[in-house]
Amino acid sequence: MQTITIGKIVKPQGIRGAVKVLPFTENMHRFGTLPFVYIDNQKVAIQQVTYGNNFVILKLENVDDRNMAENFRNKLVSIDRSDIQPPQDGFLIIDLMGASVVDECGSLLGTITDIDAFGAADVIACKATNGKEFRFPHLEHVVKEVDISAKTFCVYKNLWQEVVVFDD
């Protein structure tokens, strides 16, 4: 089973065992559809979900007071990969990790190691075939095609050298 981390418990919330979660997902309301989550690879049922100020408050089953909730501080909250469906017009970031970056001619440029989501455009971080790290924006005029099933990320060759940034 593959899990995906969707948040981090930052602290207990109140005296009845609830925890405050910093969501790592764009749709924090997804927590309200979940019957359970994984914390330290343990399946934990969710009794109640409330929202406020960019945080999610979870009341977890069998966590009945603040002291019990304190044991979850700084723990990551995960769900089954199979519980997440990619958007109709896109893909999940996790689906691109390890994908090959190729140019229009099929030449391997590197492998995706990370993706930073920014407002204007996601920035793709890669390890080049020569071992160097580089980054480029995920923009329509840079990225020709993304093939999730083949795990390839094709970029336009003529624009490639204009936008790539090598890390030192």
CATH of region 93-166 = 2.30.30.240
Each residue's pLDDT tens digit, 41-55:
899 999 999 998 899
Domains 3-83 and 93-166 share a fold: no
126: left (phi over 0), alpha (psi -120 to 50) or beta: beta
Report residue 4's pLDDT band, with 50, 70 and 90 as the boundaries: confident
3-state secondary structure of 63: coil
Strands 36-39 and 42-52: antiparallel
What is the residue extent of each domain of the chain? 3-83, 93-166
What pLDDT is recorded for position 138? 86
Q: Are 4 and 78 contacting, i.e. CB atoms less than 8 angstroms apart?
A: yes
Each residue's pLDDT tens digit, 136-158:
888 888 889 988 889 998 988 77
pLDDT(73) > 80:
yes
41 compared with 92, residue with greater pLDDT: 41
Report residue 87's pLDDT band, with 50, 70 and 90 as the boundaries: low
pTM, full prediction? 0.66
Pick the CATH number of 3-83 from 3.50.50.60, 3.30.420.40, 3.30.200.210, 2.40.30.60: 2.40.30.60
For residue 42, give the H/E element and its range.
Answer: strand 42-52
